[in-house]
Amino acid sequence: MPPGAPWTIDAYETEKGGKPVWSFIGGLVGRNKAEAIALVKLLEEQGNTLRRPHSGALGEGLFELRGKEVRMFYMFLPKRVVVLLDGEIKKRDDIPKKTLDRVRSQQKDVVRRGQAARKQEKTR
């Protein structure tokens, strides 16, 4: 893809078909909802070139979109794909361990499923 082409925004899907980040954004109102949508659009446009104050690296391939109160977690996949994992309203500056554990688990699930899908393709 040419530089400057938009990134594909995807959402993590649970085993039961839920998409936590869309549920999170859908539950927001007013400024927080507008901010969340604007952050996703910015990520779609800028992808891995997006930096602070809008984006921050959390290590091990996990990133956060940062708004005034909104925080959303994401990761990158090959071919200019971003997977949005989940979000929360910021109540403190650091990320609660419970939240970090949840989104890291989602991240591992995306990687595991991707590896399984690639193995299936090879056996065809």
* pLDDT at residue 124, rounded to an integer: 60
Provide the CATH topology of domain 8-123: YaeB-like fold (3.30.2310)
Q: How confident is the model at residue 78 (pLDDT cuts 50, 70, 90)?
A: very high
Residue 61 pLDDT: 96
Contact 20, 85 (CB under 8 A): yes
Region class of 47: left (phi > 0), else alpha (psi between -120 and 50), else beta: left
Domain boundaries, the chain: 8-123
Q: How far apart are CA 68 and CA 31, in angstroms?
A: 10
pLDDT digits (tens, 9 = 90+) for 48-77: 999 999 999 999 999 999 999 999 999 999
Please identify which residue in the block is written with the tokens 């779609």: 44
Return the residue matching tokens 């891995």: 48
C-alpha 20/C-alpha 35 separation (Å) is: 17
pLDDT tens digits along 1-12: 555 678 999 999
Report the distance separating Cα 75 and Cα 45, nearest Å.
15
